[in-house]
Chain A
């Protein structure tokens, strides 16, 4: 048992130095804004303090709350001293992963990513099945943009509708794009956030080599998670990476996207963490929604920088966390209902699934529908 304990130790002084934790002034802004801290033991501020005072060995034994973090970025975006508790938590998770001490679901997701190029235990051969009847160009034929679809939109029947909607919009607007089809590989964003740094590095190398071989210059993604990974986690390679809402906002701005229909509903927009807090993309999704005829956009109190996380990030799609009771997505649906909105719009596959689930849990399907911006836009074409 004693030996087991030492296995989960980190060299805290080195760790604190690498993670820049000595800058922390213990103000508590990270924890005060953390959406998980209010319902689980997770306390980023106290975690940093414990690492700082630990001397040179800090045991992670029993710190199951590290798996509660959704990597929503609230902690570091509020920090006055440029400390990044979220990254420190990810680095601590690595210690668990290295020793193989992870939840079986995490193991499955990581193994599947390694074997099949997706964390969903789906077959690579089926990756492009959603696009069979859509006559989309293969990127190898050459195109202005690569549409990087991502794992969840490729395989999940609910999210496939988002990808299909997006394709119909882009084809209508005459955008020249292609997809990788079965060549497409997971971006490994979640792999990295689950603490599997080695596998992440491997995937980065594979994907970077593939992009280079195709001589790409522009790409966009369905998911803010893939977008963030390519934009911020991958080495800079001159490739312009956009989220699809940015592409749509651009099309609207230069009048390439015209609506012949309308969407006459009251809509509220949920900012995905990886689009908003991580990348400050608050305006483009709203630009798209505002341009849709008859759509009434209302804001929740917690919007933009204050948006409440849906609890689907940081590998939490595969993990319950230590308090599965009230999900953040359920709180979020409640907030959406309070605005009187009929549609809760978002622009992230994970948000879409967690919020959909929460609406069902609250038996609010009659009052509130969760839709992706791509789906709403496609309906108004």
Chain B
């Protein structure tokens, strides 16, 4: 069906010991010896750490001396060191796409015991990588110019901090806020934990800096209506919420990067009718408590004598299948334990004679200074009782919290003048709409999904779109600031470089085969495919394409291939893994017959 690359492949194979990570279970010398006899292989070596400087030098030296034109490194996952080895062969004068990696660590040595079979599997993986390497094609690495501005959506603490960092670094920063006020949820909080500082000071300082900054533009009472373009060149239509007659005034904003800081919504306690929120005036939520005048705390005209806090309201729960009227909130909202401790402290401070009881399931005081704050809260006389209350009912003037004190193993009824429900953080109701607008994913909890939970926590799968604050998951103020600054610094990379490298391993279309049916466009998550208006066939926007390959599998005519994962390359890789393919001669024949 197709031919090999026009030049004769001269492959170098490098087997890494990864210290003892690979070498203790895989016979690396045997693998190297095996690889040396594979078709097209000129040299096969093994070394302690291929990623180390001497390891890299080995590869560079061989490329120069043995005129290698393809390199296979058998080591860890390509997610770890593919960029390293691509850089190595580029320095030695090869195209970076002439590298293939065999993952003999995560997919072999780490998951199998010592033994001949493990070594054989490593050989097969190397065999397969070499088979593909023979078919590799050099690809052109292209660059796109970056608009020197960032668009930040959401004017809470995270959005303000990210916008400030971008502006401070010398770039234009455009902050879009849907309301008329900056500060988000934090603007409605009295004091922080664990320091009990007034939050107003913190929020005001940030919003004043935002207002003053010469490179920072605020767009208040505004929302994003449309997003176009790609990393480096986003064109975003922002509409003013302030309706002038029937017209929303639309402004087009150009930005190289986008940071989403759209925040969260507090759990609606009315969804738990057993607590009577909205029915009993004595039952409030933690955000409501922040609005109470704590100097003159009055409920029903009286100073409360019995105050009960209930934790985990709308967090850590899986509602019953069809009965669940609202979305499940199986996650811990992370802030409620400390919010409760803080508010309990405030009650102790203002109403020294009041009895304060906190009903909890587990106290999660994981942050810096949190456990100490929890200690202090108990020392000041706040009583923690273990058990998640089941219901609140009315009894005369007061309400009664019914719970099992699980440490006593007894059902208790605690009368209260004030009950505070520590409501969790939930995704905003417009998350689905925003995700669609920006073409990004949401995780099962409904919040925006980061590109990788550990390695790429502030990026999204869409290049150039970053996440900050609670739109990615529950966070306290400190964590929101941390993520905002991380998102800003990640977003600054393309801004500072001025140009972005565009993924070369994109899909491409065989004009002869494409009928323009558009199946590919339906499955594309990046809006990279469109029908050519005149040619009647699909075209790939190589800047938007992330090379995921969904279009290639969807195409009914087999017209779409993905560079670096072409049918020839993948089939060669698969054939090499099939039984019987390990004899060198048969292998060659199969490759040619394809």
Flag A77-112 by CB within 8 Å of B: 1 or 0 each.
111111000000000000000000000000000000
Q: By CB atoms of chain B within 10 A, which of A25, A27, A80, A81 has the most?
A: A27
Q: A38-B411, A45-B406, A76-B320 are in contact. Are A32 and B361 (CB under 8 A)?
A: no
Is A43 within 8 A of B318, CB to CB? no
Q: How far is the CB of A20 from chain B (nearest CB, A)?
A: 11
Contact (A32, B409) CB under 8 Å given A45-B404, A76-B320, A81-B317 = no
Check A80/B320 contact, CB under 8 A, given A27-B361, A32-B404, A33-B391.
no
A42, closest chain B residue (CB): B411
User: Across the interface, which residues of A come within 8 angstroms of B318, CB to CB?
Assistant: 80-82
B contact residues around A76 at 8 Å (CB): 320
Say if the beta carbon of B394 comes within 8 Å of chain A: yes
**Closest Cβ of chain A: how far from B421's Cβ, in Å?**
14
| Chain B min CB distance to A310 (Å) | 17
B411 near A306 (CB under 8 angstroms)?
no
Flag if A27 contacts B406 (CB, 8 Å): yes
Q: Determine the chain B residues whose CB is within 8 A of the CB of A78 once the complex forms.
A: 274, 390-391
Q: How far is the CA of A301 from the CA of B409 in the complex (A)?
A: 27
The minimal Cβ–Cβ distance linking A72 to chain B, given in whole angstroms, is 12
A43 surroundings in chain B (CB, below 8 A):
404, 409, 411
Beta-carbon contact of A37 and B388 below 8 Å: no
Give the nearest-CB partner of A44 in chain B: B404
Q: With A and B bound together, what is the CA distance between A74 and B391 in angstroms? A: 10
Q: In the complex, A28→B401 CA distance in Å?
A: 13
Q: Find out whether the CB atom of A33 lies under 8 angstroms from the CB atom of B387.
A: no
> Is B323 among interface residues, defined by CB-CB distance under 8 A?
yes
- A29 contacts partner chain B, Cβ-Cβ < 8 Å: yes
Assuming the A-B contacts A28-B387, A28-B403, A32-B411, are A306 and B361 also in contact, with contact meaning beta carbons closer than 8 angstroms in the complex?
Answer: no
Decide yes or no whether B273 CB sits under 8 A from chain A: yes
CB distance from B474 to the nearest CB of A (A): 16
Taking a contact as CB atoms under 8 Å apart, the answer to whether B393 and A302 are in contact is yes
Contact, CB under 8 Å: A33 / B274: yes
Q: Which residue of B lies closest to A46 (CB)?
A: B409
Question: Taking the nearest CB of chain B, how far is it from the CB of A21, in angstroms?
Answer: 15
B273 and A32 form a contact (CB under 8 A): no
Q: Which residues of B contact A46 (CB under 8 A)?
A: 409
- The answer to whether B394 touches A306 (Cβ under 8 A) is no
Bound Cα distance A43, B390 (Å):
13
1/0 per residue, CB under 8 A from B, across A16-55: the answer is 0000000001111111111001100001011000000000
Q: Name, among B319, B386, B411, the residue most crowded by chain A CB atoms within 10 Å (CB to CB).
A: B411
> Once the chains are docked, how many angstroms separate the CA of A302 from the CA of B413?
15
* Residue in contact with A306 in the complex, picked from B387, B389, B391, B406, CB distance below 8 Å: B391
Q: How near does chain B come to A38, taking the closest CB pair, in angstroms?
A: 5
A contact residues around B405 at 8 Å (CB): 28
Flag whether A225 is at the interface (Cβ < 8 A): no
The yes or no answer to A240 lying at the interface (CB within 8 A) is no
Residues of A within 8 A of B409 (CB): 43, 46
Beta-carbon contact of B320 and A77 below 8 Å: yes
The answer, yes or no, to whether B181 is at the interface (CB within 8 Å) is no
Other 18 A-B pairs with CB < 8 A, given A28-B405, A30-B390 = A25-B361, A26-B361, A27-B312, A29-B390, A31-B390, A32-B389, A32-B403, A32-B411, A37-B411, A38-B413, A43-B404, A43-B411, A45-B404, A77-B323, A81-B318, A280-B323, A305-B274, A306-B391
A residues with CB within 8 A of B: 25-34, 37-38, 43, 45-46, 74, 76-82, 280, 301-302, 304-306
Which chain B residues have a beta carbon within 8 Å of chain A's beta carbons?
273-274, 276, 312, 316-320, 323, 361, 386-391, 393-394, 402-406, 409, 411, 413
Q: List 17 A-B contacts (CB under 8 A).
A: A28-B386, A28-B387, A28-B405, A30-B390, A32-B388, A32-B404, A33-B391, A43-B411, A76-B320, A78-B390, A81-B317, A304-B273, A306-B273, A306-B274, A306-B276, A306-B391, A306-B393
